[in-house]
Structure 1
Amino acid sequence: MNVLHDLDPQERTLEDVSDCVSDSDEYFGDNFYDDWDNRAINGIADLQTVKFKELTADQIRRLPFPDRSVAFSFYNLYAKMNGFSARKSQIRRNVNNDVTQQAFVCFRQGFRDLCSDNDAARRKREPKPTTRCGCGTEMRVHIHEETGRWIVSYFQEEHNHEMLDDMLTFMLPGHRKMNSAAIDQMNMMLKVGIKTPQIYSSFVHTAGRFHNVPFLKIDMYNQIDKQRRLIGGDAKACLKYLESTAAESPGIQLDYHLFGDVVAFDATYRKNKYMCPLVVFSGVNHHNQTIVFASALVANENEATYTWLLEQFLDAMKGNKPRCVITDGHGAMKKAIETVFAGAYHRLCAWHLIRNATSNLSNPTFTSEFKKCMLFDYEVSEFEEKWENLVSSLGLHDNEWVCDLYARRKMWATAHMRGHFFGGFRTTSRCEGLHSMLGKFVHSRHNLRDFVEQFFRCISQMRSREAQSDLQSIVGDLVLQSPLHDLERSAANMLTREIFLLFRPMLSRACTLKIRSCTYTPTFEIYTLSRSGSLHKEWRVSHYPNEEIYKCSCMRMESLGIPCDHVVAVLVHLDATKLPKSLILDRWSKNARSRVHAFMDNGPFCWDSMVTCRNWMLSDLCRELCLLGSAGDAEFSELRDKFQNEISPQDDCYRPDWTDVEYTSFFWDGDGGSDNFDMEIPYRTGARILLQIAQRNNLDVDVHLALGFASHYGKLGTTEYLVEEENAIAFVFRKI
């Protein structure tokens, strides 16, 4: 007794075909088995020698195949050479539930189940064009019980539609497929931030022409989407990825230990696909480069959320609070900082202030003068005078935003923040540069896992840049340019190159200063200096000889960590030949990381995956071999045969376990009784159709996909599964 599982109610059943009879010997005639072995297709490799365009229907009817998969591969290649594509249709089983017959049809066979006019009116999208037109082209194969081979029992080659040109046939879904090598290459490019269109262009360039690539750009998007869906819950996948990168966290904590005296919080960067703002905790390293200590995706931006966020950050950094913090001025963030980071000096980011000034007033004159008031190193009295002149000239005394800005002047004016160390973290270039770098990796369309993964790529590039700067600071000596060669050489030997270039102008400016007077006390000396030709402005430098400490009234050393020209002038007066250690901050020195080298055996960056590294090394070797093998036909054939001979045994030896397959799932075997319901479903059946099938047959709708291997059997816990056909998707449902 045969059991038929019909997947499409509109498809005709095998019993309706009058040409099919049960006695195959009577149907095929006495001479069917003559020369049986010579004309047989014994595997996929034999398909390379078949001239599909010259095949006749009678020749096809006489071909035996080793299994159904080879038969379908043959028919699909035949379809490709004749302007259409094939798909699998109905199967027939015997009483033992073994497949005994399989039908392959034209991709335009059958008709679409059109929705009613009312349903069509409610559609938000335009319906896809109808491709099915009831084409009757079909090839049916059934198993020969004596030999176990599959033979053609029915073949119909007449179509009711036009055939496609060869240049168009390859674009049909049935002829498009991304193999595992293409998927791996695509994923590696995606991980380094290359966009999908550029990846597809790379495949086209490698293949020579776009029709030499066996898939389209849409297939890459579909593959990416499938990977995201099958990888599991987005939040769980994100947490799993973070756990896998936990080994890198000590490096971030060490960065904070060295350079965490100044921390900037920026929550103005773009949001991800869940509309969650990205909060970045950043600082500045010994090369005056922006580094990132931590980041967070927050659901909202209220005080409670920011308080929790800062507490978690403080806990991750072993309770070490920063001395100074910089924010975008968000009110909730300000209150949270006062609660969690009590005692830290709070500064408003200059970039955000300038942007707000432009949006609130739209007055270029105000914006230009406001920059000077905020960034120039004025005395407090000078600042107040210039601010009053600016507000009066533009008539902004009654402007609410300007009044609120002035009330917060101690949080943004350099004149009022003198003496608080911010490491130069005030200019607009830092936020703009960080946003620009993040924009190369992080996009709003990313889900949680992709968002976090790409953010780590950005961090990795930042650390790579730091390593390059370390090399530049150590290798090579800068040409001395100032008149004070000894002091310049001393600074160049101790400071990193970027910081030294900020200090070097102080040497030339010191030559324009004169010491007007000197006052001596038992413990320190006070030098009064002024600029040559400008006696109205004076600076006072205090020198403590016992500790070799220098303090200037300009407080540049306390604010930036770089000696000012006034201190340098005093050093010249004292005939000093090198900078004292008190004027060299550890965070600006070349040896800034020397205290923690024991914990950084892997350097500032490391490989993400040893498997990926091996893959690239083998790919480079194979690329050279391929160049040699493509020089001529003989070389090509020889190398191709060697590759095929090597791939087969390696594939059998290193085939991954079922639980290690990239797209893995489990499917039910019920309770092992007679209530099991079993059906095979075409590979491209959509999730909506699967749900309809499950509901129609009263099946559990908890359905999972599984990509199977040939005759693969496995067991996971109490769940058993069997997949009979390579690259087939099998489903086993459990009866409700």
Structure 2
Amino acid sequence: MESHGEGSSDFSVQWTDGWSTDSTDDDEGSAARSLETEEVQSAAGDREDGSVAGDEGSMPVPTGIHVAADTEYGDEELGSAVLTTAALESAEYNSVEEVYKAYVAFAKATGFAVRKGDSVKNEEGNIVRKFFYCNRQGLREKKHYERVDRKRAHKAETRTNCYAKYVVYLDMSSRKWRTKTFIVDHNHDLAPPDFTNVMAPHRKLTDGDKAHIHSMHEAGFQTTQIMGFFAHLCGGYRNVNFIRKDLYNYMDDVRQSRIVEGDAVAAISYLKGKTEMDPLAVVKYSYCAEKHLGNLFWSDGHMQYDYECFGDVLAFDSTYKKNLYNRPLVIFSGTNHHRQTIMFGFGLLEDEKIPSYKWLLGYFLEVMQSKEPKVVVTDGDESMKEAIRSEFPNATHRLCSWHLARNALQKIKDSDFCAAFKTAVYGYFDVKEFEDYWAEVVRSFGLEDNDWIASTYEKKEQWAHAYLCDKFCAGLRTTSRCEGINSSLKKFIKSGNCLLELVENLDRVVKDYRNNEFIADYKSLYTDPVLTTGLESLERSASKLYTREIFFEVKKQIESVGGMIVLHKDRFGSTEKFMLRKFRKPHRVHAVLYDRGSDKFECSCKLWNTVGIPCGHIFCVLKELDVEELPDRLVLKRWRKNAKSDRISTIEVQSDPDRAIRVRYGALWAACSKMCFLGAQGSETYKEVVNVVTKTSNELESMCYIGNKGGQAHPAGNDIDIGNPHIIRSKGASRGSTHVKNGRRCRRNQFPGRGEATAVAGKGAGIHSICNNANQCGVVGNEVKVIMFTAHLERHLVLFDRDFAEFFA
């Protein structure tokens, strides 16, 4: 339809390229196009009734289309109206953006998508005409079909040279935009309503979607789970305004935008930025070759406070496949007064050699105010062992009993021996009894000449209870707490995570563990256990002093008093000696010493020494002495409810603007859930809620400015000049060596490659997609013979080795 141009002024034509390529043809280049003039001759002629005729074989468009209310595509009046072709032709608009929204709404309801076209400017440089096309307008350029250097398969055809378009001009008298040309017919099938959401131009992640995605991502949901949640929320995947690929692309864009200065710089900047809210937070790092990141250590104020309270026993272990660079991640952990796992810091090492571990432990000791742990539990790595000996000379190095048991099964491969070995590890022997038992086990299984048995025996002081029974280990005999942390990390962390994602996700894991402590504190402080033992006064006293978890362990010892027998007692000055045994176990007699002057107890079972709680033998003596309340000397400070109360934490918690937004978003989401539920019960209530929400959203949109909330970049500080770490090879066999034997091969000729559409001849080959384009091919020995004809019918014979060792052309 031609312009209603009475109010239009003369202007000189100046074309501005507003062309945007189809998202599915982005590597093919823009399609061939012809710029429009005032007289549209190539598309169609004007009919007598004023409508525009299209191609003979094109499909008709429905004359009346109802467009549901949608804040995405236009005003409330437009969204709730019945949009017809006649209404679109006669419509007036205040801006080009309004035109675009109206045409997009029409296209979505009709079954096609819109591409913005060119613009025409007047002499003053103002746009006076704008073109909008069907997204299938134009054709893919022929050169893209003839490329010989192609590395990817052709993308699906989306261009059909469709002539449907909508052209508007600016009426200078009214300053309104009016319809100039409107061709409604298409030369291709229109998509049914179910498919319109799949079209790229109609797919979009709204700001609300993005906020929800970020909240779920931070809660540990994987991207595929987030997509499933949106599908469930919208009543099916086809009702979601985006597809899985859009979600993955968005998450990747966010990820890349946050590490624009480099991954290592972003991660270190993030860790240094935490000092604004936590002045005790520390980050240390070193350089390796060419100023790339070497080793990295970080710990916040809460971790240092926990180490001050519970740093008597330290466990640390390294794990791979937790980051993009395959760097070993070291987790420093311990146990709190609830016997829960706590973390003291993290390290990311360049390698697992002695210098790296020394660097890490040295800075760990510096940050922790030179406080050495009394016991260190590791998996037995020799580099760790040497570093511990150097940096923690006064600490007892205990080997993880779980790793020992696993090694025993791998080396000896005898389940009976493994059972006997566990008895040697955990058994309540004295030194002589252990030596006799070990000698008997070695002899009975014929392992006198076994190298692993000999080397393990040399380390007996690091794993046998007989040698460790006087060392306080807080019940920590394995690195299983580190393993438990590793298991929790799987919820948040993948092997493809960059450093920034790694440190952020570790923060989330730490918060999860701290919440466990928070809940345990509440249960211990504000609830009371039911008293069930016969020694009610002692049990009540213990319940008021110990945390709940430790109380249950103490209660087991109180319950065992009923099976204790006092054989006799002796007195030596202020010290009394009690000899006890369990009922029907005459072979095991224990001695308890009690000093009245210092109110000190000591038992030969060593439970107090290793775990820090009074044993059943001591409770039996308390019963004999008619003691009603548990003496303070028998309540270890680290197991008390107030284990942390007398230590002053200097941690300052300041407000985090991004976190405040997320908290408010979550609160609003919860507040609106009831409204959404009630509104969905009927069509009338649904319309009412939609109208209220649309109106309120429009009002709020004018009040708020929402910038890019996709993820805040972490700018590099002036003092940070460091490159990303090198990717290293982890210990053990390569995963690929056991799972992929021959690799992917072409379906036609079975030579290595990614399939017939992408198989490449070899290094330096100038012929692309050999199998796909081959006219004749055959296999002779280890060579593949391919005969090809180019576009000019020139015959080429290509020979290349099947293993790509040689290439000839």
TM-score normalized by the length of structure 1: 0.79
Aligned to 1:139: 166
Q: Secondary structure at the match of 2:339?
A: coil
Q: What's the secondary structure of 2:468's corresponding residue?
A: coil
Q: State the 1:549 CA deviation.
A: 1.0
- 1:616 equivalent in structure 2: 666
> In 1, Cα distance between the equivalents of 2:559 and 2:653?
41
Q: What is aligned with 1:378?
A: 429
Give 1:51's match in structure 2, choosing from 55, 76, 82.
Answer: 82
Counterpart position of 1:4: 15
Letter paired with 1:184? A
Q: Which residue of 2 aligns with 1:721?
A: none
Distance 1:491 1:606 in 2: 41
**Change over 3 Å in CA distance of 1:490–1:623 after alignment to 2:** closer
CA distance in 2, matches of 1:190, 1:468: 24
Instruction: Please tell me whether residue 104 in structure 1 is matched to residue 154 in structure 2.
Output: no
- Sequence identity percentage: 32
* Cross-structure match for 1:405: 456
CA shift, 1:157, in A, is 3.4
1:118 alignment partner in structure 2: 148
Superposed CA offset, 1:458-501 (max 9, x none): 21121211122222223343333333333222222211221122
On the 8 A contact 1:421/1:561 being kept in 2, the answer is: yes
CA deviation map 1:309-361 (0-9, x unaligned): 11222222222221111112111111111122121111111222233333444
Cα 1:413–1:43 change in 2 (3 A) is closer
Any gaps of 5 or more consecutive residues in structure 1?
A: 22-26, 33-41, 667-736
CA RMSD of aligned residues (A): 3.4
Determine whether 1:83 maps to 2:83.
Answer: no
Deviations 1:108-132 (CA, angstroms, capped at 9, x unpaired) = 2333452645323xx2x54432323
Structure 1 position 19 matched with structure 2 position 29: no
1:553–1:76 Cα change, 3 Å? same
Alignment match, 2:797: none
- Against the structure 1 CA distance between its residues 632 and 117, is the aligned structure 2 distance closer, same or farther, given a 3 Å change threshold? closer
Q: Flag the 1:500–1:16 CA change in 2: closer, same or farther, 3 A.
A: closer
Unaligned runs of 5+ in 2: 1-11, 22-28, 52-72, 279-299, 716-809
Map of 1:252 onto structure 2: 303
Distance 1:392 1:606 in 2: 65
- The answer (yes or no) to whether the contact 1:269–1:435 under 8 Å persists in 2 is no
Q: Which residue of 2 aligns with 1:167?
A: 194
Contact map agreement 2:267 2:500 (CA 8 A) in 1:
yes
What is the Cα deviation at residue 182 of structure 1?
1.0
1:226 Cα deviation after fit:
1.2
Residue 218, structure 1, aligned to residue 268, structure 2: no
Structure with more helix by fraction: 1
Q: 1:152 aligns with which of 179, 191, 195?
A: 179
Judge conservation of contact 1:108–1:132 (CA < 8 Å) in 2: yes
Query: How many Å apart are 1:18 and its aligned residue?
Result: 7.1
Q: Cα distance 1:420–1:646, how it changes in 2: closer, same or farther (>3 A)?
A: same
Query: 2:267 maps to what in 1?
Result: 238
CA distance, structure 2, for counterparts of residue 653 and residue 134 of structure 1 = 43
Contact 1:110 1:135 in 2 (8 A): yes
1:416 is paired with a residue of what secondary structure?
A: helix
Query: Paired residue for 2:387?
Result: 336
Q: Distance in 2 between matches of 1:96 and 1:664?
A: 39
3-state DSSP of counterpart to 1:593 = coil
Change (3 A) 1:359 1:67: farther
Q: Equivalent residue of 1:542, what SS? A: strand
SS in 2 for 1:609: helix
Which residue identity lines up with residue 311 of structure 1 in the other structure?
G
1:554 & 1:381 partners in 2: Cα distance? 15
Say whether the 8 Å CA contact 2:320–2:327 is kept in structure 1: no
Counterpart-to-counterpart distance in 2, 1:442 and 1:166: 39
Deviation at 1:378, TM superposition (A): 2.1
Q: Is the 8 A contact 1:281 1:294 kept in 2?
A: yes
The letter of the residue matching 1:139 is Y
How many equivalent pairs are there? Answer: 643
Q: What is the identity, as a one-letter code, of the residue corresponding to 2:85?
A: L
Report the AA paired with residue 66 of structure 1.
N
Is the contact made by 1:629 and 1:635 (CA closer than 8 Å) also made in structure 2? yes
* Mapped partners of 2:623, 2:599: distance in 1: 14
Per-residue deviation, 1:455: 1.8
Secondary structure, aligned partner of 1:347? strand
Q: Shift of the alpha carbon at 1:420? A: 0.7
Q: Is the 8 A contact 1:541 1:551 kept in 2?
A: yes
2:641 to 584, 590, 594: 590
Name the aligned partner's letter for residue 82 of structure 2: K
SS of corresponding position for 1:90: strand
User: Who is 1:494 aligned against?
Assistant: 545
Letter in 2 for 1:203: F
3-state SS in 2 of match to 1:541: strand
Q: Are the structure 2 counterparts of residues 512 and 606 from structure 1 closer, same or farther at C-alpha, using a change threshold of 3 Å?
A: farther
Counterpart residue identity of residue 19, structure 1:
E
CA distance in 1, matches of 2:418, 2:354: 30
> What pairs up with 1:514-553 in 2 under 5 angstroms?
514-522=565-573, 524-553=575-604
The SS at the match of 2:330 is strand
Native 8 Å contact 1:473 1:496 kept in 2:
yes
Shift of 1:507: 2.5
Note the C-alpha offset of 1:609.
2.2
Structure 2 residue identity aligned to 1:391: V
Secondary structure of the residue aligned to 1:154 is strand
- 1:67 Cα shift? 1.7
Distance between the aligned counterparts of 1:389 and 1:450, measured in 2?
53
Higher RCO (C-alpha under 8 Å, 6+ residues apart): 2
In 1, Cα distance between the equivalents of 2:110 and 2:147? 37
Segment drifting more, 580-589 vs 377-386: 377-386
Distance 1:516 1:624 in 2: 69
5 Å-filtered alignment, 1:429-444, equals 430-444=481-495
Query: Taking structure 1 as reference, are residues 105 and 298 closer, same or farther at Cα in structure 2, changes over 3 Å only?
Result: farther
Q: CA deviation at 1:379?
A: 2.1
**Aligned positions of 1:342-491 closer than 5 A:** 342-427=393-478, 430-491=481-542
- Which of 677, 700, 707 aligns to 1:650? It is 700
Matched letter for residue 647 of structure 1: S
Q: How far did 1:419 drift?
A: 0.8
In the TM superposition, residue 423 of structure 1 has moved relative to its aligned partner by 0.5
Mapped to 1, the partners of 2:714 and 2:632 lie a distance apart of 63
CA distance in 2, matches of 1:353, 1:316: 31
In 2 relative to 1, CA 435–576 (structure 1 residues): closer, same or farther, beyond 3 Å?
same
Partner of 1:282: 333
Report the Cα offset of residue 97 of structure 1.
Answer: 4.0
Looking at structure 2, the residues matched to 289 and 662 of structure 1 have their Cα atoms a distance apart, in angstroms, of 33
Task: Give SS of 1:445's match.
Answer: coil
Partner of 2:364: 313
Aligned to 1:562: 613
How far 1:214 moved relative to its partner?
Answer: 1.4
Instruction: Write the letter of the residue equivalent to 1:653.
Output: M
1:92 equivalent in structure 2: 120
- String of CA shifts for 1:376-434, please: whole Å, max 9, x gaps: 22222332233333333333333333322222121111111111111011157534433
Greater Cα offset, 577-586 or 87-96: 87-96
**Aligned residue type for 2:673:** R
Amino acid across the alignment from 1:216:
I
Which residue identity is paired with 1:545?
R
Deviations 1:489-531 (A, max 9, x none): 2222211221122122322434444444544444533334344
SS across alignment from 1:401: helix
**Distance between the aligned counterparts of 1:230 and 1:379, measured in 2?**
62
Q: Deviations along 1:606-638, whole A, 9 cap, x unmatched?
A: 998222222222233333334444555555445
Q: State whether residues 512 and 532 of structure 1, in contact with CA within 8 Å, keep that contact through their aligned partners in structure 2.
A: yes
Deviates more, 1:422-431 or 1:515-524: 515-524
Alpha-carbon contact 1:278-1:297 (below 8 Å) kept: yes
Question: Where does residue 744 of structure 2 map in the other structure?
Answer: none
- Superposed displacement of residue 439, structure 1: 2.3
Output the CA distance in 2 between the equivalents of 1:601 and 1:308.
29
Match of 1:71 in 2: 99
Counterpart secondary structure, 1:103 = strand
**Structure 1 residue 289: Cα displacement:** 1.1
